[in-house]
Structure 1
């Protein structure tokens, strides 16, 4: 029996979850409570990236599927920092919000890189039925 359909579904679920989470985090960047900037997007980026990558690897055993959430998150986060043709910019880089945006991108990428490094450092599972 082929594992390919299951891996494709798991990969699709990982991409959709990571894309949705990255989009929510980007729109949380300017979140303020009582006028105070709240870096909730930074915390969710770190936790989400680490947990999505390691979780995808644990569930599927596939390194490729485990890499998909990290790549998806990075694509969405960087796309939010590119001005649209109308001049709109979702993630800005000035003042306190710029510091939160920079922390969001830097720490989010760091968490994903650590998780991917751990996944790639784990020994491969032997092919065949589990013992």
Structure 2
């Protein structure tokens, strides 16, 4: 049962990381009133910081926790490659190029920081009803103050 649960968390982490990266890539050229709005950069930082930590908390596996960052990187790098038809999602000129570069650099930095924190930190057990328990009571347990 544990392997099936871990596999489902791995699939969930991959799907969420891929979906978030796709949304961010297609938000890159977002303009409001003709002004470029770099919302993708902010979402990339927040997503890349929160997803690995959340995946570790829920799955209890460091390998599963790394998957959203890897999926994000694959999608971001894939958006820079020209397709055979000539389509290119991430272009490199003008203000859009600056936002694209900031998206890549800051997004990768946030993902690397989060993955490093997940891999270096103590292992946390997965949160589930079976291993959830009440917190330990405060105090010495003798009934008197010391």
TM-score band (shorter)?
Answer: over 0.9
**Residues 75-98 of structure 1 deviation map (CA, whole Å, 9 limit, x = unaligned):** 001000000001110011111000
Secondary structure at the residue paired with 1:99?
helix
Deviation at 1:61, TM superposition (A): 1.4
Distance (whole Å) between structure 1 residues aligned to residue 79 and residue 73 of structure 2: 10
Pairwise CA RMSD of aligned residues?
A: 1.5
**Residues 51-79 of structure 1 deviation map (CA, whole Å, 9 limit, x = unaligned):** 11110011111000000000000000100
Distance (whole Å) between structure 2 residues aligned to residue 67 and residue 105 of structure 1: 18
Distance (whole Å) between structure 1 residues aligned to residue 113 and residue 52 of structure 2: 10
Deviation at 1:26, TM superposition (A): 0.4
Which structure: greater helix fraction? 1
Deviation at 1:125, TM superposition (A): 5.1
Matched with 2:49 is 50
Matched with 2:4 is 5
Structure 1: segments with no counterpart, 5+ residues: none
Q: After the TM superposition, which segments of 4 or more aligned residues of structure 1 sit over 3 Å from their partners?
A: none
Distance (whole Å) between structure 2 residues aligned to residue 123 and residue 20 of structure 1: 28
* Higher Rg of the two aligned structures: 2
Q: TM-score, normalised by structure 1?
A: 0.93
Matched with 2:21 is 22
Distance (whole Å) between structure 2 residues aligned to residue 39 and residue 77 of structure 1: 15
Matched with 1:60 is 59
Deviation at 1:15, TM superposition (A): 0.4
Deviation at 1:102, TM superposition (A): 0.4
Q: TM-score, normalised by structure 2?
A: 0.83
Aligned residues: 128
Distance (whole Å) between structure 2 residues aligned to residue 124 and residue 21 of structure 1: 26
Secondary structure at the residue paired with 1:77?
helix
Secondary structure at the residue paired with 2:86?
coil
Deviation at 1:3, TM superposition (A): 1.3
